[in-house]
Amino acid sequence: MIGIVLGSAAVSAGCYALLRCRFKQDSTTLGSASYLSIYAALQKNLFRRDGMIVGDWSLADLPVYYDDTHAITFGPSGSGKGTAAILPAILDCPFVFINDPGGENAAIAIKQWRAQGYKVTVINPFGMHPEKPWALPLHGFNPMDILDPKDPQFAAHAELLAEMLTPRSGRENGSSQFFKDTGQTFKQALIVHIRTARPRNEHHLGKLYELVNLPADGWEKLLEEMQANLVADGLVAAEASAMERREAQAPEEFSAVMSTIQQDLRWLADPVVRQNLKRSDVDFGALKGTDRRGQRVKGCIIAVVLPLEYSETHAAIPRLAMGCAIWTMQRAPLARKKVLFVIDEAAALRKISRFPNWLATLRKYRVVLWPIFQNIGQVKALYGQEWQGFIANCGLRQFLGAADLETAEYIHRLVGERTAESRSVNADGKASTSETRRPLLTVDEILHFDGDKQIAFIGNLKPAVLRKTRYWQRAALRGRFYRNPYQSGRTPPAFGALARRLWGKALYAAAFLLAPHPVAALLYLAGLGYGLLRLWEVVRDVL
């Protein structure tokens, strides 16, 4: 009986705290910055189970969801990008494309994907995590299979592949940019030539690598073949003639261009990689909800898995896969559901010139891009003057932590300033109060922010401080994943997961009841008080 009374008192105190928060009015004279309230989150349907999980409200297991346009996440190493952000999302979303350096996320989540009957494809050229229980498959991927010489946009599609085959640091200028641009155009011409003038068994990137490394006599013969190829309005012939003139009239420039091309394609020297890129087991169209046989699929996962040591040297593989997947999404029919593109360690992919345009246009195709970086500096270095627009086109800006001054200062400016009350005592001992301007969070506070919390900006709402809940701590996800292949032993136990989940439901119910008009909220509270009073009378009579 005492437990009932204490529990009722705790609920009453919680409701009082929620009511106080509900009607609290802070001064905004010198600044109006504040954190997102649970009531504003309710009004925007952030607790509705739809979209990707962002984090949890307060100490409860009360997930906040995001279901709008693109997202971007920043977090240094060890901040929980995989455990608290990526894995809760991909364990809950049925249609996902994921760039997964190291294969950790795919290995953990594949249990759930298989159990749900999803169509799972893993572009895994180095055969990572083949052992049980993970047993990641090894699917082949031939980018040239998207090309159709009969398509009016055939040359443009070849340009997409050439662009994905051309890594850029974002710092190219002058001659270095010229060599990259010229090399990219010649790669486009070579791809068109291979696809239209070579036998079917040579329609793969291994042939491209072979052609750019031909000896002198083979090179001359190749240029002759290309000059005779008049497809794509003479693109191939024109590029071959331009390269021939360059070789004769500007040998140093020719040497620099060829060296750039060969350097861009050096990762294809690996016979294992070339063999994997000869065949296509990937059905990108299944991301839309229907496979190539016209059958509906419950879900589709396409994961690109590379060893961590090759995440930069072989970055062309995930770039090509992502380019082909997005190319497919832009074609009819429209996707049945939203497709989440998780681009982990996005900086390792180098600059993708189309990315800013994708962020601006892909929403209509039900594509949600989710690039993940370690800090703001990586975006600035890659996208230069476009970096602010890059971030601004993401409706969710998630900061799992900040380990560098630049990122901390950026968050500091985003959260804004508030009006604070300052109290002082004069020489006579009389106290007085005044208003002053203060940052909602200082740079120092951001750098030393609680490691179990994150700051999320959702749309144009005020910043939300959410708890970072690891996937194994979520009661709803227990038993739906394999252990981490990079860790020995079992997954850590989730102490208190059930209690947090129940507290989350109670918190949501209380906030839902107290969210309406103030009069209604007061009536709710009055009813609660009356109920507690009646309960106390019963207890008193019994005692």
What digits encode the pLDDT tens for the residues 274-302?
A: 999 999 999 999 999 999 999 999 999 99
Range 126-155 average pLDDT: 97
Neighbours of 262 (CB within 10 A): 15
The reply to whether 178 and 265 lie within a common domain is yes
Residue scoring higher pLDDT (72 or 23): 72
Residue scoring higher pLDDT (530 or 143): 143
**Parallel, antiparallel, or unpaired for β 431-439 and 453-458?**
unpaired
Structure tokens at 263: 């350097």
* pLDDT tens digits, 45-85: 999 999 999 999 987 789 999 999 999 999 999 999 999 99
pLDDT at 7 over 60: no
pLDDT at 488 (0 to 100): 82
163 lies in some domain: yes
Range 386-394 average pLDDT: 96
Of 374, 277, 358, 373, the C-alpha closest to 325 is 358
* pLDDT tens digits, 448-461: 999 999 999 999 99
* pLDDT tens digits, 225-266: 999 999 999 999 999 999 999 999 999 999 999 999 999 999
pLDDT at 9 (0 to 100): 56
Helices 174-197 and 216-227 cross at an angle (nearest 10°) of 70
- Domain of residue 176: give its range: 143-273
28 lies in some domain: no
pLDDT at 492 (0 to 100): 72
* pLDDT tens digits, 308-350: 999 999 999 999 999 999 999 999 999 999 999 999 999 999 9
- Count how many domains the chain has: 3
pLDDT at 23 (0 to 100): 57
The reply to whether 5 and 81 lie within a common domain is no
The reply to whether 471 and 527 lie within a common domain is no
The reply to whether 108 and 178 lie within a common domain is no
Residue 352 belongs to a domain with what CATH number? 3.40.50.300
Residue 437 bridge partners (DSSP): 419
33 lies in some domain: no
pLDDT at 535 (0 to 100): 74
CA 239/CA 256 separation, integer angstroms: 16
45 lies in some domain: no
The reply to whether 261 and 292 lie within a common domain is no
Mean pLDDT for all residues in the chain: 91
**Beta-strand runs (E) in 50-133:** 52-57, 63-66, 70-74, 95-101, 119-123
pLDDT at 100 over 90: yes
Q: Which residues does 22 contact at the CB level (< 8 Å), separation at least 6?
A: 37, 39, 514, 515, 518, 521
pLDDT at 137 over 80: yes
220 lies in some domain: yes
The reply to whether 325 and 415 lie within a common domain is yes
pLDDT at 516 (0 to 100): 61
pTM score: 0.90
Q: Residue type for 155, please?
A: A
Give CA angle at 341 (338, 344), nearest 5°.
155
The reply to whether 119 and 157 lie within a common domain is no
The reply to whether 174 and 308 lie within a common domain is no
For 369, counting Cβ atoms within 10 Å of its Cβ (0-12 exposed, 13-18 middle, 19+ buried), the class is buried
pLDDT at 356 (0 to 100): 96
The reply to whether 326 and 418 lie within a common domain is yes
Range 100-106 average pLDDT: 98
Q: Which of 273, 298, 331 is the last residue of a domain?
A: 273
Q: Nearest 10 degrees: CA dihedral of 119, 321, 135, 486?
A: -130
48 lies in some domain: no
Range 366-375 average pLDDT: 98
* pLDDT tens digits, 154-170: 999 999 999 999 999 99
Least confident span in 40-44, 258-262, 293-297, 417-421? 417-421
The reply to whether 8 and 101 lie within a common domain is no
For 295, counting Cβ atoms within 10 Å of its Cβ (0-12 exposed, 13-18 middle, 19+ buried), the class is exposed
321 lies in some domain: yes
For 391-416, the DSSP string reads HHTEEEEEES---SHHHHHHHHHHH-
Give CA angle at 433 (431, 434), nearest 5°.
150
The reply to whether 405 and 349 lie within a common domain is yes
206 lies in some domain: yes
Length of the chain: 543
Least confident span in 3-12, 150-159, 229-238, 525-534? 3-12
